[in-house]
Amino acid sequence: MNITHVQTLTVPVTDQDAAKAFYAEALGFEVMTDQSMGPMRWLQLAPKGAETSVVLANHLPGMSPGSVQGLLLQSSDLDADCERLRRTGVAVEGPEDLPWGRQATFTDPDGNGIVLSGPTGP
């Protein structure tokens, strides 16, 4: 096998514009592609410099908005990111110290579950 990384992860959403605002404004992701492809819209965003991106889709049969749980994002400053999210109106639980590190959780506007993970304490 010659697989090098995960390229995209599809996140099912109801309203692509609302999801785009959340991922771009609240999470700081950059819009990589936003274009019509026939009857569907390809909306792809990623953290700056990331190899893996998310595609916010509302056109895939069998993928219900809110069905993604455990999307894990890494933060270099978990506390600051949690405060920034709270200031934008996101209900964040944590951060919490766990045996494997520090984490906080929240959902996107459709209820997709996101885990924000940071470095462990000193």
Looking from the CA of 114 toward its CB, the CA atoms found within 13 Å total 23
Of 121, 21, 115, 27, the residue nearest 72 (C-alpha)? 115
**pLDDT above 70: residue 10:** yes
Alpha-carbon distance 86 to 65, whole Å? Answer: 23
Q: What is the pLDDT of residues 13-62, one digit of tens each?
A: 999 999 999 999 999 999 999 999 888 999 999 999 999 999 999 988 88
Overall number of domains in the chain = 1
Task: Give a yes or no: residue 2 inside a domain.
Answer: no
Task: Give a yes or no: residue 49 inside a domain.
Answer: yes
Distances (CA, A) of 34 to 69, 99, 110, 111: 24, 39, 19, 22
> Domain span at residue 55?
8-118
Those residues whose C-beta lies under 8 Å from the C-beta of residue 91, and which sit 6 or more positions away, are 106, 107
Q: pTM for this one?
A: 0.91
Task: Give a yes or no: residue 3 inside a domain.
Answer: no
The CATH number of whichever domain residue 76 belongs to comes to 3.10.180.10
Task: Give a yes or no: residue 1 inside a domain.
Answer: no
Q: Which structure tokens are listed for 64?
A: 């219900």
Q: Left, alpha or beta for 89 (phi > 0: left; psi -120 to 50: alpha)?
A: left
Assess whether the previous peptide bond of 119 is cis (omega < 30° from 0).
Answer: no
Task: Give a yes or no: residue 104 inside a domain.
Answer: yes
Task: Give a yes or no: residue 75 inside a domain.
Answer: yes
Q: What is the pLDDT of residues 77-88, one digit of tens each?
A: 999 999 999 999
Task: Give a yes or no: residue 35 inside a domain.
Answer: yes
Q: Which structure tokens are listed for 118?
A: 């940071």
Task: Give a yes or no: residue 97 inside a domain.
Answer: yes
Q: What is the pLDDT of residues 89-116, one digit of tens each?
A: 999 999 999 998 999 999 999 999 999 9
